[in-house]
């Protein structure tokens, strides 16, 4: 379980790094998810990550943090399909219109989150 969380964390680190280096490439990557299939895959990704975080929490370096993140991410995964493709498109367009500094700041938050996941489950 910890290995899967570390892999999810590394994936998030890579996306955060991509967003810092090239925010427009990150936006292009996010646009690939603008389909019903992409929305359901994003939902499944969140549900799986949430369950993994919750189950791996007891053996981690930050059990309370991982439990809380697991529940929040799991619930986010459940509501993602109800968010709708049109809202996702509007949110992505709003985000794409922000300044490069804004996008890089959020990408930095993603990078930090991914590093937190990797650190929390590292032996």
Query: In the predicted model, what is the mean pLDDT of the chain?
Result: 95
Average pLDDT over residues 95-123: 96
End-to-end, the C-alpha distance of the chain in Å comes to: 12
Residue with tokens 């590394």: 10
CB 26 within 8 A of CB 103: yes
**Residue 16 class from Cβ within 10 Å (0-12 exposed, 13-18 middle, 19+ buried)?**
buried
Using the predicted structure, report yes or no on whether residue 32 has a pLDDT greater than 90.
no
> Whole-structure pTM over 0.85, yes or no?
yes
């Amino acid at each position: 379980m910890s290995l899967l969380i570390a892999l999810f964390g590394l994936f998030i680190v890579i996306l955060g790094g991509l967003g810092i280096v090239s925010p427009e490439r990150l936006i292009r990557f996010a646009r690939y998810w603008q389909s019903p299939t992409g929305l359901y895959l994003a939902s499944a990704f969140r549900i799986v990550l949430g369950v993994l975080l919750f189950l791996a929490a007891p053996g981690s370096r930050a059990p309370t943090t991982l439990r809380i993140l697991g529940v929040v991410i799991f619930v986010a995964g459940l509501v993602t399909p109800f968010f709708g493709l049109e809202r996702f498109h509007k949110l992505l367009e709003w985000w794409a219109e922000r300044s490069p500094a804004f996008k890089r700041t959020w990408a930095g938050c993603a990078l930090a989150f991914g590093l937190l996941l990797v650190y929390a489950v590292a032996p």
